[in-house]
Chain A
């Protein structure tokens, strides 16, 4: 099945800082999702981004499917951005979303 790797695993940010999270995947994909798992455990959909670039407020994402990676940008980070960020791609061979292990982000005031 498809392997999904995320980096860095852990990140501590000062409030107001910018950051980039990376997701690499082992095979060609035609879909990719980014999620934010907040400290209460809820999984929030951030982006469905098979290719190209999308922006939503202070967050943006870029997927370069031909090079098998996606990037999530957080600008002017706030304490509410804390949590774990997951990327996931569809593994058609196993009929599932294949998740990375996540990027644990802590934003300190």
Chain B
């Protein structure tokens, strides 16, 4: 079992560029999440999904879009990157909201 995987691991963008982060899980989890982590802070929820074909906004959704076309994949998109989106992005999954969440290795994104 690979658990939760994320691609890419690192990325540098210029302001205004777009990109997509891919998250994949092989645990047959229904719930998937995207968090961002900024220095000195815990993780904050960007968007989440409670099942294939569903998405919902978290705490800090502005500037991001997501899609869950397949149960095992959850994509996070930045349409027009801004320096404020420089962060480390983590994907996570769980059977349900109240169950243990498992995290991917993270993607370090820098927007210049």
- Please list the residues of chain A having a beta carbon within 8 angstroms of any beta carbon in chain B: 4, 30-31, 33, 35, 41-43, 45, 48, 86, 88, 90, 92, 94-97, 99-102
Contacts and interface: CB of A to CB of B under 8 A. Distances in A.
B100 A99 contact: no
Given A96-B45, A100-B42, A31 B88 contact: no
B42 A88 contact: yes
B77 interface: no
Contacts, number: 58
Nearest to B92: A97
Measured as residues with beta carbon below 8 angstroms from the partner, the interface class of chain B is: 20 to 34
B43 A90 contact: no
Given A41-B106, A42-B105, A48-B100, A94 B41 contact: no
Nearest to A31: B98
Interface of B: 33, 35, 40-45, 48, 56, 58-59, 88, 90, 92, 97-103, 105-106, 108
A33 B106 contact: no
A99 B33 CA distance: 14
User: Which DSSP category, helix, strand, loop or mixed, fits chain A's interface?
Assistant: strand
B80 to A, nearest CB: 25
Given A41-B105, A99-B43, A101-B42, 18 more contacts: A30-B98, A31-B98, A31-B99, A33-B100, A33-B101, A42-B106, A45-B103, A48-B100, A88-B43, A90-B98, A94-B59, A95-B45, A96-B58, A97-B92, A99-B42, A99-B44, A101-B41, A102-B42
11 contacts: A31-B100, A33-B100, A43-B90, A48-B99, A88-B42, A92-B97, A92-B98, A95-B97, A96-B45, A97-B43, A97-B92
